[in-house]
C-alpha cells in the first residue's frame, strides 16, 4: 500500500483501479499538532480534542493534499443514512455520502470502523462510507449503492480493526446470520462464548451480494498498528483518521 508523506503528514494512497480524474486518500496519525491522547494529525471535532488544534490539522490536510475545497464532514451515528454531498448545507447526521459533482470531497472519519470508498465505472459518481458493524447490519452499503444509481467499478476498504482484535458476542453473529447465511463465514469462535468477527469479510460478502467483486484493500489492523492508526478499542480516548475521495 503506497504511503505518501508531505510536510511530515503521512497518508495511505489506495492501490485500486479507478479513472485518473478520481483521487482518494486516507490520513494517518502522524504529522499534526494534537497532543496525547490525540497525537497528532487528528481532524475529528467530536472527540474532546482542542478545537483550534483540530482546525489547524484540517488546514494541514487541505494544504498538503492540495484539496480543491473543504471536505464534506458528517456527524456519524452508526446508521444507514446516506446524503448527497453536493447538497449538504450543514453537518448532517449520516454515515455515507456520494456525489457526481467535481471538487466535492466525500469524507468519513474512523478509528476501528471500516471506511469504504466507491467509484463508478467511468468515475462519474463516487462515495465514502463509514461502516461499523451496526452500520453494516443496517445495510449502509446497499443504501449507498441505491442512492448512487450507477454501476460501481471499484471499492477500496481502508484501515479498520482486524479479526484478530474484534471480539463480539453471540447476539452479533446471530443478527448477521439472520440477515443472510453467508455472513457466517466472517466469524471464528474463541475459547469462550465469543467470536472473532472479520469486518472486512462482512463488507466483501455484502458487496458480493450486491454483485460487486472488484474490491481492494482490507489488509490492516488499526488496533495492532499503533504507530500509524488511531484505535478506539485500543485507546478509548483518541483521534480519528479521515478517508477522502473526490474527482476533477
Q: Is the dihedral of CA 98, 43, 116, 181 positive or negative?
A: negative
Beta strands 126-131 and 96-99, pairing class: antiparallel
Q: What are residue 16's phi and psi, to 5 degrees?
A: -150, 165
Mind listing the domains of the chain with CATH numbers? 3-160+212-247 (3.60.140.10)
Which of 248, 208, 204 lies closest to 99, judged by CA?
A: 248
Q: Specify which residues 116 forms β-bridges with.
A: 129, 157
Encode the chain (248 residues) as per-residue pLDDT tens digits: 556 555 566 899 999 999 999 999 999 999 999 999 999 999 999 999 999 999 999 999 999 999 999 999 999 999 999 999 999 989 999 999 999 999 999 999 999 999 999 999 889 999 999 999 999 999 999 999 999 998 888 999 999 999 999 999 999 999 999 999 999 999 999 988 899 999 999 999 999 999 999 999 999 999 999 999 999 999 999 999 999 999 99
Spatial distance between the Cα atoms of 172 and 147, rounded to a whole number of angstroms: 27
Spatial distance between the Cα atoms of 12 and 5, rounded to a whole number of angstroms: 9
Answer for the pair 154, 17: CB distance below 8 angstroms, yes or no. Answer: yes
| Helix 140-148 and helix 199-209, axial crossing angle in degrees, nearest 10 | 40
**pLDDT given for residue 6 in this prediction:** 57
Q: Is the dihedral of CA 150, 71, 17, 220 positive or negative?
A: negative
Q: Specify which residues 22 forms β-bridges with.
A: 247
Which of 165, 138, 174 lies closest to 226, judged by CA?
A: 165
Spatial distance between the Cα atoms of 71 and 106, rounded to a whole number of angstroms: 6
Helical segments of the chain, H only? 51-65, 133-138, 140-148, 170-179, 199-209, 232-235
Spatial distance between the Cα atoms of 234 and 132, rounded to a whole number of angstroms: 16
Output the pTM of the full model: 0.95
**pLDDT given for residue 9 in this prediction:** 65
Which of 159, 154, 95 lies closest to 128, judged by CA?
A: 95
Q: Count CA within 13 A, CB hemisphere, residue 76.
A: 28
Amino acid at each position: 500500500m503506497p504511503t505518501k508523506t508531505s510536510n511530515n503528514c503521512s497518508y495511505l494512497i489506495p492501490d485500486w483501479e479507478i479513472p485518473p480524474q478520481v483521487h482518494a486518500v486516507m490520513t494517518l496519525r502522524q504529522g499534526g499538532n494534537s497532543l496525547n491522547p490525540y497525537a497528532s494529525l487528528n481532524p475529528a471535532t467530536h472527540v474532546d480534542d482542542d478545537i483550534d488544534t483540530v482546525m489547524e490539522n484540517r488546514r494541514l490536510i487541505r494544504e498538503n493534499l492540495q484539496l480543491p475545497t473543504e471536505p464534506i464532514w458528517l456527524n456519524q451515528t452508526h446508521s444507514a443514512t446516506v446524503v448527497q454531498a453536493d447538497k449538504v448545507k450543514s453537518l448532517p447526521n449520516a454515515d455515507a455520502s456520494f456525489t457526481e459533482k467535481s471538487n466535492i470531497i466525500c469524507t468519513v472519519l474512523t478509528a476501528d470502523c471500516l471506511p469504504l470508498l466507491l467509484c463508478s465505472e467511468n468515475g462519474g459518481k463516487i462515495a465514502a462510507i463509514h461502516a461499523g458493524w451496526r452500520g453494516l447490519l443496517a445495510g449502509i452499503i446497499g443504501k449507498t449503492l441505491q442512492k448512487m444509481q450507477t454501476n460501481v467499478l471499484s471499492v477500496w476498504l481502508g484501515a479498520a480493526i482486524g479479526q484478530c482484535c474484534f471480539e463480539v458476542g453471540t447476539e452479533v453473529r446471530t443478527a448477521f446470520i439472520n440477515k443472510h447465511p453467508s455472513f457466517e463465514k466472517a466469524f471464528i469462535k474463541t475459547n469462550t462464548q465469543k467470536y472473532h468477527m472479520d469486518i472486512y469479510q462482512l463488507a466483501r460478502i455484502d458487496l458480493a451480494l450486491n454483485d460487486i467483486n472488484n474490491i481492494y484493500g482490507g489488509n490492516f489492523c488499526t488496533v495492532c498498528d499503533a504507530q500509524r492508526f488511531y484505535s478506539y478499542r485500543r485507546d478509548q480516548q483518541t483521534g480519528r483518521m479521515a478517508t477522502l475521495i473526490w474527482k476533477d
